[in-house]
Amino acid sequence: MRGGDGGGPEGGGVSRRQLLGLFGAGAAGAAVGAAGGASVATALANAAGAPDPARAYAFHGAHQAGITTPAQDRLHFAAFDTDPSLDRDGLIGLLTDWTNAAARLTQGLEVEEGGAVGGSDYAPPADTGEAQGLPASGLTITFGFGPGVFGAGDGASDRFGLAARRPPLLEPLPRFQGDALVPELTGGDLCIQACADDPQVAVHAIRNLSRIAFGRATLRWSQLGFGRTSSTSTAQATPRNLFGFKDGTANVKSEEQAAVDEHVWVAASDEPSWLAGGSYLVARRIRMIIENWDRVQLGEQEQLVGRSKGAGAPLSGGTEFTEPDFAAEGPTGAPLIAPTAHVALAHPSANGGTRMLRRGYNFVDGNDELGRLDAGLFFLSYQRSPQQFIDVQRSLAADGLNEYLKHVGSAVFAVPGGIAEGEFVGQALFA
Amino acid sequence: MRGGDGGGPEGGGVSRRQLLGLFGAGAAGAAVGAAGGASVATALANAAGAPDPARAYAFHGAHQAGITTPAQDRLHFAAFDTDPSLDRDGLIGLLTDWTNAAARLTQGLEVEEGGAVGGSDYAPPADTGEAQGLPASGLTITFGFGPGVFGAGDGASDRFGLAARRPPLLEPLPRFQGDALVPELTGGDLCIQACADDPQVAVHAIRNLSRIAFGRATLRWSQLGFGRTSSTSTAQATPRNLFGFKDGTANVKSEEQAAVDEHVWVAASDEPSWLAGGSYLVARRIRMIIENWDRVQLGEQEQLVGRSKGAGAPLSGGTEFTEPDFAAEGPTGAPLIAPTAHVALAHPSANGGTRMLRRGYNFVDGNDELGRLDAGLFFLSYQRSPQQFIDVQRSLAADGLNEYLKHVGSAVFAVPGGIAEGEFVGQALFA
Ligand code: HEM
Ligand code: HEM
């Protein structure tokens, strides 16, 4: 619980006092006296999958958290440009400061000792304070390096002396058919993905990390995601995207250890070795023209996706987690799943066996002059090589869904492996 | 629970099956077997105030829901322009369709019988489907009429024959000192406020209501709020705004029946009588320059607000809910709460006793070219007369907080009273 007097909306001291009985955390299976305003329905719904506000994920470990971590409900993502004056030592300093702050924030602490109200009256508070009283809320903070850090990409210079250490595959993504990229939503030297079950906690993290970067790195673009569109654990129910379909069914799940090792983590034998235990992150801001989509017949929507809109079952039959059978034919001899369906084109069988871990979020950012919601999918995927994304995205050139999509933002980052206590994020890169 | 197979993230069939024991909802005080992945900590935190996903508020009643209703966690707000071709009957038709849809949505149902997947394969689905499987989530939908409906305001005509029924006080708000209003974020003939504890449910409501309006009214502007900044019930812990301060402490709370009647509801004896049981809604999109705010000393921040940043207690002493004492002086004879502090200027004692019910939300919508978060407070207040807002906002001209604020959006609406089953929202206006 962050400093302050515990008055936050979801970890509030006031309501907590309404409890008649208190129980030690973690004693699963014990009986809970539902008291105050809480009904059994609440406890029931919560036991059925709502996130535990007190949940805190370890910041240190073999991999950065926020990749195979069960996808949290909310996202704040930020891409930064490094300031022209920043040099190698400055970059190391920034990463060190970010590491120290993130290690605290993810544990539900304020960004720095002293925090929002424990410092001097005559100094700006160390923490901005809007998360006072809020628990960790499952916050993970994941850092990545864009091509610019290695002197690659438009107008980048090798200010950090890292050109020789650039992962050969880390360069701005190629132009894909139909791309309508906006420069202000594209690229970035550094990125931070903050995921949490409470949006105030995710926003608080990005805001404070951005503040720490003052004079060293500047926010280039940022994106709030209000709802997850993927499961990354078999224990999670599959959420829905704004086309109304379940999204994340065939995702690489954290429990599939072999698939995670094959498709998500950079192996020690891969190039470069400093990235071992890391991954590549692709971010795409995909606008969905939902007003047009909503005029499409149900049957055609399902054909375009290749799955049913209710259960999310492949059109070849079965239930949500049945493997699609692309050879299955209907009475007329036509394939039950069209070869141009999204899942047919995205499936490993159409892409040399390639998979990826998707971790996207729904977004709605106001509306355009025509009154259409600026809504869509903020697509995030983690893969062992950017080539996996490139292959699938090229395969999707034939996807009928594209008529209802517009890729307006794009970025790729090398996400270093996890660190031990006392190290800073990305330390292996500078070794 | 909305149609579909219950696969939504927070009402999921999969996780529900993990429960070892099931209990009837509503039997408060009974023992709950915390099973599957749920820990006692979860149940504990939930009992301490997290919203019940299954909660559904009645749509019909003396007042519209969403005003004195305990402030839900998330918001999607939309302002519409009526299409030039819309006439009086068309407007009644739209309100009727909106009423029917809202009555269903707020009960956790799909927008129409048939819904997302229960209709014909050869027709677009009646419901857009992204809320399949999600429970009511405390959704309220609140409708309002802007001045344009009555032929008032820039370029408005009396297409609906309602000019004679215009509430005399309903006209575009006067220009306030420091206003930096953007036309695209200002005004609107009709508004819909959707509040829910799950953002996907609020977004689903606005999207489907906007779809229903096709050809009759067009989205003019819209705003997502990720976290509430007010309590409207004494049972709710006070949340925090992006300045890090508790917000909503001295709000009119639903339990203060006399204050609600005096300051929030239009009385039967007020003009016009068709608005009895209704209220006036003011919406202001207030950008907060948080990067500058974060450089202000803690002591000065507290002086500007007039309350402590931790507990939210008035600087004259006491705890959060102690009445501020504006006469109290410090050792030097200076008032403990500066006369230009926000709470001093906003307090009833500075405004002829006036109060209002605040129901605002925090927002973050990306960032500007300078890398500053486009963040702030989407201020919503309900009052018996727009004059209450005008008086307080004028008083706030001397507010030191203004240095860190920019009012970019503004609108005012007459919010009709509640309806009985079989009536449409605003029916009394056309009687
Ligand atoms: C807004 C755009 C998109 C929408 C609405 C969308 C929707 C979906 C849906 C509904 C499914 C089926 C359920 C599931 O297995 O998750 C799916 C599967 C998948 N999508 Fe997408 N998707 C989008 C963009 C992309 C992009 C850009 C990629 C990668 C380039 C991608 C890669 C995949 C993959 C790999 C699968 C799993 C296929 C399988 O193994 O069966 N999707 N998508
Ligand atoms: C972003 C802009 C604003 C911020 C950050 C802000 C913040 C606060 C805070 C921290 C409080 C003290 C806690 C409480 O009683 O809720 C407060 C009180 C209040 N504010 Fe604001 N406020 C803002 C804008 C406004 C506006 C535009 C109005 C109305 C014109 C307003 C009216 C009030 C009122 C009536 C009170 C209660 C005063 C009392 O009775 O003690 N505020 N505000």
Give me the pLDDT at residue A153, please. Answer: 81
Give me the pLDDT at residue B30, please. Answer: 27
Q: Is B173 in the pocket of ligand 2 (CB under 6 A)?
A: no
d(CA B173, CA B181): 11
Higher pLDDT, A196 or B49: A196
d(CA B118, CA B416): 34
Ligand nearest the Cα atom of residue B342? 2
- The arithmetic mean of pLDDT across residues A395-402, rounded, is 97
Phi, psi of A224 (to 5 degrees): -95, 140
Tell me how far CA of residue B81 lies from CA of B99, B156, B188, in angstroms: 18, 11, 5
- The arithmetic mean of pLDDT across residues B257-263, rounded, is 98
Contact list, A127 vs chain B (CB under 8 Å): 244
- B204, closest residue in chain A (CA to CA): A242
Ligand nearest the Cα atom of residue A232? 1
Alpha helix locations (H) across B48-176?
88-105
Q: Name which of A40, A76, A127 is nearest B30 (Cβ-Cβ).
A: A40
Letter for the amino acid at A257? Q
Length of chain A measured in residues = 431
Q: Is A337 in the pocket of ligand 1 (CB under 6 A)?
A: no
Is residue A27 predicted with pLDDT exceeding 60? no
Structure tokens at B121: 């394969």
Give me the pLDDT at residue B4, please. Answer: 56
Q: Report how far Cα A60 is from the mean position of its chain's Cα atoms.
A: 18
Q: Is A347 in the pocket of ligand 1 (CB under 6 A)?
A: yes
Q: Is A342 in the pocket of ligand 1 (CB under 6 A)?
A: yes
Per the rule left: phi > 0, alpha: psi between -120 and 50, beta: everything else, B113 is beta
Give me the pLDDT at residue B152, please. Answer: 87
d(CA A98, CA A49): 32
Tell me how far CA of residue B275 lies from CA of B87, B89, B92, B168, B278, in angstroms: 21, 20, 17, 11, 5
d(CA A367, CA A362): 15
d(CA A176, CA A300): 25
**Percent of chain B clearing pLDDT 70 (strictly above):** 89
Confidence band of B287 (pLDDT split at 50, 70, 90):
very high
Global ipTM:
0.90
Confidence band of A1 (pLDDT split at 50, 70, 90):
low
Contact list, A40 vs chain B (CB under 8 Å): 23-28, 30, 32
Instruction: Pick the range with the lowest mean pLDDT from A393-402, B38-47, B207-216.
Output: B38-47
- Number of H-type helices and E-type strands within chain B: 9, 11
Structural contact between residues B229 and B240, judged by C-beta atoms closer than 8 angstroms: yes
Letter for the amino acid at A202? A
Structure tokens at B243: 């300045």
- The arithmetic mean of pLDDT across residues A352-364, rounded, is 98
* CA dihedral over A238, A362, A418, A212, signed as positive or negative: negative
Q: Which residues of A280-301 are buried (b: 16+ CB within 10 A; e: fewer)?
A: bbbbbbbbbebbebbebebeeb
Q: Is B238 in the pocket of ligand 2 (CB under 6 A)?
A: no
What pTM, to 2 d.p., does this model score?
0.91
Give me the pLDDT at residue A49, please. Answer: 55
Tell me how far CA of residue B32 lies from CA of A30, A390, B17, B39, B291, in angstroms: 8, 49, 15, 12, 46
Is residue B15 predicted with pLDDT exceeding 50? no
Beta strands A373-383 and A361-367, pairing class = antiparallel
Give me the pLDDT at residue B154, please. Answer: 77
Q: Is A389 in the pocket of ligand 1 (CB under 6 A)?
A: yes
Tell me how far CA of residue A67 lies from CA of A140, A232, A254, B68, B399, in angstroms: 9, 8, 9, 41, 45
Letter for the amino acid at B388? Q
Structural contact between residues B158 and B149, judged by C-beta atoms closer than 8 angstroms: no
d(CA B240, CA A2): 13
pLDDT in tens, B30-51: 233 222 223 333 333 333 357 8
pLDDT in tens, A294-314: 999 999 999 999 999 999 999
- Return the half-sphere exposure (C-beta side, CA atoms, 13 A cut-off) of residue A140: 22
Structural contact between residues A278 and A297, judged by C-beta atoms closer than 8 angstroms: no
Higher pLDDT, B55 or A20: B55
Tell me how far CA of residue B26 lies from CA of A37, B105, B112, in angstroms: 11, 21, 27
Q: Name which of A26, A218, A244 is nearest B116 (Cβ-Cβ).
A: A244
**Locus of tokens 């604020």:** B405
pLDDT in tens, A246-287: 999 999 999 999 999 999 999 999 999 999 999 999 999 999
- The arithmetic mean of pLDDT across residues A383-406, rounded, is 98
Q: Is B283 in the pocket of ligand 2 (CB under 6 A)?
A: no
Give me the pLDDT at residue B173, please. Answer: 97
Structure tokens at A142: 């994941």
Which residue, B187, B208, B138, B125, is CA-closest to A375?
A: B208
Rounded (10°) angle between helices A199-212 and A88-105: 150
The beta-strand segments (E) located in A233-300 are 279-288
d(CA B314, CA A318): 62
Beta strands A190-196 and A357-358, pairing class = unpaired
Phi, psi of B93 (to 5 degrees): -60, -45
Q: Name which of A117, A135, A373 is nearest B309 (Cβ-Cβ).
A: A117
Structural contact between residues B170 and B150, judged by C-beta atoms closer than 8 angstroms: yes
Q: Report how far Cα A303 is from the mean position of its chain's Cα atoms.
A: 28
Tell me how far CA of residue B56 lies from CA of A36, B197, B229, in angstroms: 19, 11, 22
d(CA B227, CA B197): 10
Give me the pLDDT at residue B157, please. Answer: 86
Structure tokens at B181: 């209003």
Is residue A402 predicted with pLDDT exceeding 90? yes
Q: Report how far Cα B81 is from the mean position of its chain's Cα atoms.
A: 20
Planar angle of CA B227, B229, B231, nearest 5 degrees: 115
Higher pLDDT, B152 or A286: A286
Is residue A99 predicted with pLDDT exceeding 60? yes
Which residue, A232, A197, A265, A217, is CA-closest to A83?
A: A217
Confidence band of A241 (pLDDT split at 50, 70, 90):
very high
- The arithmetic mean of pLDDT across residues B267-280, rounded, is 97
- The arithmetic mean of pLDDT across residues B141-164, rounded, is 93
d(CA A104, CA A109): 5
Q: Output the furthest CA–CA distance in chain A (Å, rounded).
A: 79
The three-state secondary structure class of B154 is: coil
d(CA B160, CA B157): 8
Contact list, A36 vs chain B (CB under 8 Å): 47-48
* CA dihedral over A122, A124, A128, A130, signed as positive or negative: positive
**Percent of chain A clearing pLDDT 90 (strictly above):** 86
Give the other-Cβ count within 10 Å of A425's Cβ.
25
Phi, psi of B349 (to 5 degrees): -65, -20
Q: Report how far Cα B261 is from the mean position of its chain's Cα atoms.
A: 19
Nearest residue CA, atom 6 of ligand 1? A247
Instruction: Look at A237 and B296 and tell me if their CB atoms are within 8 Å.
Output: no
- B319, closest residue in chain A (CA to CA): A5
pLDDT in tens, B67-83: 999 999 999 999 999 99
Q: Report how far Cα B122 is from the mean position of its chain's Cα atoms.
A: 38
Instruction: Look at B240 and A375 and tell me if their CB atoms are within 8 Å.
Output: no
Give me the pLDDT at residue A152, please. Answer: 86
Partners of B358 in the β-ladder: B381
Burial of B32 (0-12, 13-18, 19+ CB in 10 A): buried
Residues of A numbered 25-84 whose beta carbons fall under 8 angstroms of chain B's beta carbons: which are they? 25-55, 73-74, 76, 81
Beta strands A357-358 and B140-145, pairing class = unpaired
Tell me the average pLDDT of chain A.
90
The contacts of residue A374 (CB under 8 Å, 6+ apart) are A287, A364, A365, A366, A367, A368
Contact list, B207 vs chain A (CB under 8 Å): 242, 290, 373, 375
pLDDT in tens, B394-404: 999 999 999 99
Alpha helix locations (H) across B289-375?
290-293, 298-305, 342-346
Is residue A45 predicted with pLDDT exceeding 50? no
The three-state secondary structure class of B264 is: coil
Give me the pLDDT at residue B10, please. Answer: 36
Q: Output the furthest CA–CA distance in chain B (Å, rounded).
A: 79
What letter does residue A329 receive in the DSSP assignment?
B
d(CA A401, CA B168): 50
Confidence band of A36 (pLDDT split at 50, 70, 90):
very low
Alpha helix locations (H) across A13-157?
13-16, 40-47, 88-105
Confidence band of B25 (pLDDT split at 50, 70, 90):
very low
Structure tokens at A103: 């290690």
Instruction: Look at B47 and A42 and tell me if their CB atoms are within 8 Å.
Output: yes
Give me the pLDDT at residue B283, please. Answer: 98
Instruction: Pick the range with the lowest mean pLDDT from A40-44, A64-68, A339-343, B274-278.
Output: A40-44
Report how far ligand 1's centroid is from the alpha carbon of B76 (Å).
27
Phi, psi of B214 (to 5 degrees): -45, 130
- A320, closest residue in chain B (CA to CA): B7
Higher pLDDT, B59 or A15: B59
Is residue A14 predicted with pLDDT exceeding 50? no
Planar angle of CA B307, B310, B312, nearest 5 degrees: 35
d(CA A59, CA A113): 18
- B128, closest residue in chain A (CA to CA): A244
Q: Is A305 in the pocket of ligand 1 (CB under 6 A)?
A: yes
Confidence band of A11 (pLDDT split at 50, 70, 90):
very low
